[in-house]
A and B are shown apart, each in its own frame.
Chain A
Amino acid sequence: MNSSLLAWIVRAVPFGTIIMFGAMGEIATEKSGNLNLGVPGIMYLGGFAGFASAYLYEKNSPNPQVAVCVILALICCIAASMAGGLIYSFLTVTLRANQNVTGLALTIFGKGMANFFGVYLLNGASYTAAPMAYSAFSAKLFPAEKMGILGETVFGYGWLVYVAIIMAVVFHFVLFRSRLGLNLRSVGENPATADADGISVTRYKYLATCIGAGISGLGGLYYVLDYNKGIWATTGQIEALGWLAVALVIFTTWKPLNAIWGAFLFGFLYWLYQFLPDMLGLKVKTYVSDIIQMVPYVVTIVVLIVVSMRKKKENQPPASLGLSYFREDR
Chain B
Amino acid sequence: MVKRNLTGAGYGLGSWLQQRITAVIMLFSAIVFFIFIAYIATQVNSGISSWQALFQNIFVKFFVQIFFIALVLHAWVGIRDLWMDYINCAGLRLIFYVFTILWLLGSLMYSIKILWI
Whether A and B are associated in the same complex: the answer reads no
